[in-house]
Homo-oligomer: A and B are copies of this chain.
Amino acid sequence: MDKTSNKMKITLNSHRESIDRLDAVLVYTLAERFKHTQEVGKLKAKNALEPSDPEREAKQVKRLLRLSKDAGLDEAFAKKFLSFVISEVIRHHESLQQ
């Protein structure tokens, strides 16, 4: 391996180590988030509320797009990510009501 590609490999590995650490933060944060959405799902099922709450979801989308902008996160990605997480949560809430 030449000097350039060795240096490149060290830099690449350093980024990958950071990505792995951040992925652990994401997984544990998502698990904590799901604990709360599960409780919300149970509350909704118990009180015969709709699994989906368009007003709450619209507020979440607006707030998260603002946060994403502040954090420098790509807006298109933020939107896709959010709709992915919300749809998974609704799917879970629906399954509680069946």
Contacts and interface: CB of A to CB of B under 8 A. Distances in A.
Interface in A11-50: 11-12, 15-16, 18-20, 22-37, 39-40, 43, 47
Identical copies in the complex: 2
Interface residues of A, number: 45
Interface of A: 5, 8, 11-12, 15-16, 18-20, 22-37, 39-40, 43, 47, 56, 60, 63-64, 67-68, 71-74, 77-78, 80-81, 84, 88
16 contacts: A12-B40, A15-B37, A15-B43, A16-B36, A16-B56, A19-B40, A22-B33, A22-B36, A25-B25, A28-B71, A30-B71, A30-B73, A31-B68, A31-B71, A77-B88, A80-B88
